Structure 1
């Protein structure tokens, strides 16, 4: 239940031709406190509720618990979320031994593209695709919970 991931900006759209899967995501936050977040997400034909704990000081690890819920439950909970619903398309790209999840944001976050890679340990190495840009792991302004409050186009 500990999530270890690194986040990067993306410097080209080349990942789109490498993606083996893509789908729309709509999500909101019932709680976006820095100590814990509670997220509601619609992904494909499924809903999810996720609780995330505070990140470690380097931003690499944090507690994560997720449970599948019905679409009806997710739609109802999204109506209760804090202002700032996130709309994005997620692309999945296998590269080396890892899968990168690349999020292309819309609305007030249009123009922002972030790649994440989940790791088994904080020191695990991975191959870096050419389209992977600057690392933003641990920078709170790139957390979805913060993008819902202060969108990329308002920086």
Structure 2
């Protein structure tokens, strides 16, 4: 139940041509405490409840527990979430032995596109797509829990 992933910004929209599928996602947070987050997500026609622990020093790995729940339960739980529901489309793009999940954000986070790749261990190598940009692993402002509180559109006014 350890999640190990690296996160990157995207150069251009070429990734969409390589996507094998995509899903609309709506998610909110019941808890955004720095030690743990509790997330409710609707992805396509499925609901999920996810608990994530604090990231390690590099921001690459952390505890993750996820349970499938019904759409009805997910919709009810979204009503209880903290302010700032995240809206995005997730594109799945296979590359070598890995699948990149690219999130194109909408609403208050429109304009932000982030790719994640899950790994088996922190120093695992992976094939790098041409559209992959700067690495933002461990930069908390790119965590969805933080984007719900301080959306991307507000960054331009800092």
TM-score range, shorter chain: over 0.9
Equivalent position of 2:56 in the other structure:
56
CA RMSD of aligned residues (A): 0.4
1:18 is matched with which residue?
Answer: 18
Instruction: Report the Cα offset of residue 37 of structure 1.
Output: 0.1
Report the equivalent of 2:8. Answer: 8
Task: Tell me the TM-score normalized by structure 1.
Answer: 0.99
Write the deviation string for residues 81-121 of structure 1: whole angstroms up to 9, x where unpaired. 00000000000000111100000000110000000000000
1:99 aligns with 2:99: yes
Superposed displacement of residue 141, structure 1: 0.1
TM-score, with structure 2 as normaliser: 0.98
Map 1:6-155 → 2, pairs under 5 A: 6-155=6-155
* CA distance in structure 2 between the partners assigned to 1:127 and 1:66 by the alignment: 27
How far, CA to CA, are the matches of 1:108 and 1:84 in structure 2? 8
C-alpha displacement of 1:62: 0.1
The total of aligned residue pairs comes to 155
Deviations 1:19-75 (A, max 9, x none): 001010000000011100000000111100000000000000000000000001000
Structure 2 unaligned blocks of 5 or more:
none
Unaligned runs of 5+ in 1: none
**Distance in structure 2 (CA, Å) of the matches to 1:94 and 1:71:** 27
Q: Distance in 2 between matches of 1:104 and 1:8?
A: 12
Runs of 4+ in 1 over 2 A off after TM superposition: none
Rounded Cα–Cα distance in structure 2 between residues aligned with 1:85 and 1:110: 13
